[in-house]
Copies of this chain bind each other. A is one copy, B any other.
Amino acid sequence: MKLSEIDTPAVLIDIDRAEANMQRFQAYADKHELAVRPHIKTHKLPRFAKRQVELGAVGITCQKLGEAEVMADAGLTDIFLPYNIIGKAKLGRLLALNERVTLAVTADSDVTVRGLSETFNDAPKPLTVLVECDTGMGRCGVQSPDEAVALAKLIDAAGGLRFAGFMTYPKTGAIVENEAFLSAAKEKAIAAGLDPRIISNGGSPDMWRAHEVKSATEHRPGTYIYMDRFQAAKGVGTWDDCALTVLTTVVSRPTENRAIVDAGSKALTSDTFGMDGFGYIVGYPDAVVTSLSEEHGTIDFSACEDKPQIGDRLRIIPNHACVVSNLFDEVVLISGNEVVEIEPVAARGRVD
């Protein structure tokens, strides 16, 4: 099947670029003796999760219990779920999942720890728990190394749980602060007689500086497999590394410089990460995706000498690849202009 037979909008994944991206970071991490635990939220495909492990990843990261269940069903055996699992329904599912795979979760409060301990106290197998640390991101996480160690002690003493270390999703660029927090927590934990064997750091934006966070034992990159406009803007990859594009058709040319395509926010999402515009159009570096409705993308071609016509097909690198994967029931795997396979996005829409 040729790419020209695919109707639009569609998500295309260049498998050769994805493979190169996976290999490149794995090689970097191997060189620095850093374990890789890729975040599958970006692709949501068992195929790539398995490939990441084949290439040397120690396991995978999922953000939702539902994603982890899909990956376990597909044969993945080592899953990290860096989330506070709260409430009876999810705790029951977590208990079942822990029997099937090597599993770890995070906690950042005594409330979470209590819920986990009550659930796993009589379980045949203890649950591995890391303490989530807010090293600058301002999202979840304990606020200081002392708090981290206090919570680690609580986990260590709780029935059914096994303390394994510290986890963070760091603020982009804040390498020094991140390392300062993690190394302090690690030292204090060791001094307290605990064994923080895993120090899990994350994120693609700073992934080529992952080795500077010297305390970290593993890194969880997500977007690195596909790259996107944001990663390219940050210099993490080039346009030629971007493996995910949205294939779209020009459906209207109302004015000399305006084109409307059939990819709107339902295909590209409204994520901007503080950038202007909603994507990068391959072959039209000076075009600007000025606005999105749900089913319309509005593009300004005034800075481009050649302008596409109605019926022309464009490929757009989205601002943020991960959220695009979640909008499509299937993606089109390509190699060059050949369609390799149309693959269901198995872990799409797993909201809980």
In the complex, which of the residues B83, B254, B329 contacts A295, with contact meaning CB atoms closer than 8 Å? B83
Cross-chain contact B251 with A140 (CB below 8 angstroms): yes
- Docked Cα-Cα span, A260 to B169, in Å, equals 14
Chain B residue, CB-CB nearest to A263: B351
Total interface residues in chain A, CB < 8 Å: 58
Task: Quote the shortest CB–CB distance from A293 to chain B (angstroms).
Answer: 7
A111 sits at the interface (CB 8 A):
yes
Cross-chain contact A7 with B90 (CB below 8 angstroms): yes
Cross-chain contact B349 with A327 (CB below 8 angstroms): yes
Evaluate whether A270 and B271 lie within 8 angstroms (CB atoms) in the complex, with A296-B140, A322-B294 already known: yes
A112 sits at the interface (CB 8 A):
yes
In the complex, which of the residues B249, B253, B295, B352 contacts A64, with contact meaning CB atoms closer than 8 Å? B295
Residues of chain B with a CB closer than 8 A to A142's CB: 254
Residues of chain B with a CB closer than 8 A to A132's CB: 252
Q: Which residues of A from 242 to 273 have beta carbons under 8 Å from B?
A: 249, 251-255, 258, 260, 262, 265-267, 269-272
Residues of chain B with a CB closer than 8 A to A295's CB: 41, 63-64, 83
Cross-chain contact B7 with A89 (CB below 8 angstroms): yes
Chain B residue, CB-CB nearest to A9: B351
A143 sits at the interface (CB 8 A):
yes
Cross-chain contact A139 with B255 (CB below 8 angstroms): no
Residues of chain B with a CB closer than 8 A to A267's CB: 351
Interface centre among A132, A255, A352 (most CB of B within 10 A): A352
A108 sits at the interface (CB 8 A):
yes
Cross-chain contact B349 with A328 (CB below 8 angstroms): yes
Cross-chain contact B108 with A252 (CB below 8 angstroms): yes
Chain B residue, CB-CB nearest to A269: B270
Task: Quote the shortest CB–CB distance from A69 to chain B (angstroms).
Answer: 13
List residues of chain A with CB under 8 Å of any chain B CB.
7-10, 41, 63-64, 83-84, 86-87, 89-90, 108-109, 111-112, 132, 134, 138-143, 249, 251-255, 258, 260, 262, 265-267, 269-272, 293-296, 298, 309-311, 322-323, 326-329, 349, 351-352
Give the top 9 A-B pairs by smallest Cβ distance, nearest first: A270-B270, A111-B310, A140-B252, A84-B251, A7-B89, A63-B295, A270-B271, A140-B260, A86-B251
A-B contact pairs, 6 of them (CB 8 A): A7-B89, A9-B351, A140-B251, A294-B323, A326-B327, A329-B349
